[in-house]
Copies of this chain bind each other. A is one copy, B any other.
Amino acid sequence: MQQAHTEPGPSAWDGVEPEAARRLLSAGVEAFAERGYHATTTRDIAGRAGMSPAALYIHFKTKEELLFRISKVGHERARGIIAGAAGSDGTPRERLDRAVRDFSRWHAERHTTARVVQYELQALGEEHYAEIVTLRRDIDSLLRGIIEDGVRAGDFAVDDIPGTALAVLSLCVDVARWFSAAGSRTPDELGLLYADLVGRMVTAPGRA
């Protein structure tokens, strides 16, 4: 049994019972993030959770259902982060700053989970995929809303609002692909850098 790399803070599986299901979810995240869904065997997941392969099927109907659970919880968390920023007090610029800071930081701090959330969608079954897509649409709308508010208020100089919203999300999401805890940047530092870069994106250029 391999020891899973543990990310900081409270587990995403705090509400899950029984404990064995929690261990399987955690092991699934680790394995899927490392090798990808299709390259991960149920033997590997069960082994990391300290169980036999058969035990997995007591808690999840299939391997795909395990992925779906991970994806669902992860997407809900991601939406919560953006919703928190979108619904907070402050100017559009402050809300956008907070959205980008928190969203990119989450993708860095939880890069293992985020990698599965963002890059294993295609492995979901049709119905599960459809359910996840609605969550993703929410995230997109919430962020676009902040930018629309800023443009309407005259705070942002943005020509292509949907394109800019897409670029901002894309920038944050891709953190999950390349971020490593061994790198030279902490998640906090990355959040600040990215919030600054996005702040510039929505602002008419001044002088160098």
**How many copies of this chain sit in the oligomeric assembly?**
2
Check A201 against B197 for contact (C-beta < 8 Å): yes
> What are 16 contact pairs spanning A and B, CB under 8 A?
A36-B36, A36-B38, A36-B122, A38-B39, A154-B208, A157-B208, A164-B197, A167-B194, A170-B175, A170-B178, A174-B174, A174-B177, A200-B203, A204-B206, A204-B207, A206-B207
Q: Which residues of A contact B (CB under 8 A)?
A: 35-36, 38-39, 119, 122-123, 154-157, 159-160, 163-164, 166-167, 170-171, 173-175, 177-178, 185, 190, 193-194, 196-197, 199-201, 203-208
4 cross-chain pairs, A with B, having the tightest CB-CB distances, nearest first: A206-B206, A38-B38, A174-B174, A203-B205
Check A167 against B156 for contact (C-beta < 8 Å): no
Check B167 against A193 for contact (C-beta < 8 Å): yes
Check B160 against A193 for contact (C-beta < 8 Å): yes
A118 CB → nearest B CB, Å:
8
Task: Knowing A36-B36, A123-B39, A171-B171 are in contact, say whether A206-B208 is a contact too (CB < 8 A).
Answer: no
Task: Knowing A167-B171, A170-B175, A174-B173 are in contact, say whether A201-B201 is a contact too (CB < 8 A).
Answer: yes
